[in-house]
Chains A and B, each alone.
Chain A
Amino acid sequence: MFEEIFSQLDSFSIGGTDFSLFNLILGGIIMLVGFAIARIARTVFNKYYAPVLPEHTAKNFGKIIYFGIIIISFLVFTTSTGVDFSGLLVAGGILGIVIGFATQSVVSNLISGIFLLIEKPTKQGDSVELPDSNITGSFVDVGTFSCRIRKFDGTIMRIPNEKFFTSNIRVLTDSPVRRHEAKLGIAYKEDIDAAIHVLKKTISSRIPYVLHEPEPEFRIEELGDSSINILILVWFPKQDWGKVAPVLLKIAKNALDDAGIEIPFPQRVIWKGD
């Protein structure tokens, strides 16, 4: 009965395709139901299944479910109402080209985002550095048009996908371990082997995050103007930079102080001619 009532209402045509009010209302209902089902399905998935999956897999599955149901709803809408969009597509072709040129950067970012998902130069949660942009932080995600990096000061940096894709990316946490280097000098009068022994023993005992295999390495980097400069190289688990790097020099300095090994000031010897 409703169909008869609505079918008698005025119909109109766009690009050679006939639309009636009934078709539009039916289509709207189908799409609304589709959106509702998609939201419910995604919520159920996120609540019951996503927690047991890796985060990236869960997110991607959630999106596939959501957009998949919406696309299916749209197809149901077009087939059930008999709407033929081929006329619209032809009519919209030229408009599409115009819009395409106007939104070149938008499309470029969209395509770069897809390539980033395929290439996966980094993972969610990785610490990354973009040397060209002087940005360092924790990688949050790839969005439709931009990536997000949470800088270590807690702020979020949005980077267009195209720029991220074409940038040099230094991933700081891709390998299971990282190395940190620190340099300090001892006086020329000191015994180098004794100083290295003190440093090695103290670093190994005081910093539990420093790897014992490979062991901390000590190199005489330079016979400097005032001091013998020792380069300390230690390895640690990739997540534990904050437990090692900020305290390494403090612990090394205290160890040398306790052992009575002098860390000299810059010195200049002046010879006075007669």
Chain B
Amino acid sequence: MSTETQRRGAALPWLLFLTLLPLLLMPLGAIFVFAGRAGPAGLIQALGQPDAQFALRFSLLIAFGTAVVNGILGTFAAYVLSKYRFRGRETLNIIVNLPVAIPTVVVGTSLLLLWGPIGLLGQLLDPMGIQPMFTPVGVLLAHLFVTFPYMLGAVKPVLDELETTYEEAAYTIGANRWQTFRFVILPALRGGLFSGLLLTFAHSLGEFGATVMVSGNLRLRTQTAPLYIFAQFEAGNIETANAVAAVLALTSFVIFILLQRFTQRRERRVS
């Protein structure tokens, strides 16, 4: 990283700060202000509720699951779409990115109409006792769908940029496909993988629209933290809602900071 191109001076950073203040920073701050309005005892009491605890844990688990599955699936999709030429590649490339543009509520509805007890596939599965909707599996399915493009978007550009000569060199010295992937491609992908996982995790943690449709919104069973927040807000318990929201925001913040530092240092060492 060259320092010469970095400019000094406070004018533009200040301008950025002032622009972001009403757009981003103050709304974020409001979460914590409202969360703390009932005092620290109230905050602890709000977070100590069994349903709040469950919602937070459940959200974290779903986010981990989504990040792991889409981490692998997204990398695989990026690899195939970037390295292979086949008929329909362009179309597929567009389709896999569509989930970003579709309203999440629509995603939830279509999952219900597919896997639900009266859905196309659900009707066939129901007699066998398999019912993915309104269970954690349904929530995971919704999150996998909604967050799929993030991993792909983070990894594919890196793969596209990666010179094929490195791979060819690896093959010429006798590496097989797996070894090439493991020792040549994967190290270069590290930054992309991390940011992809991060985005997937964070989006899953905050997902609302699709989850509310497919989860059944059952307290202590399928209610994720965002659904819990919304239910509490609807019931007028704004402090409770904001206490959980503050934990979500803090969790994301800590994970972002740690992983950002982690990836930055890696990149610096590589260069």
Say whether A and B bind each other.
no
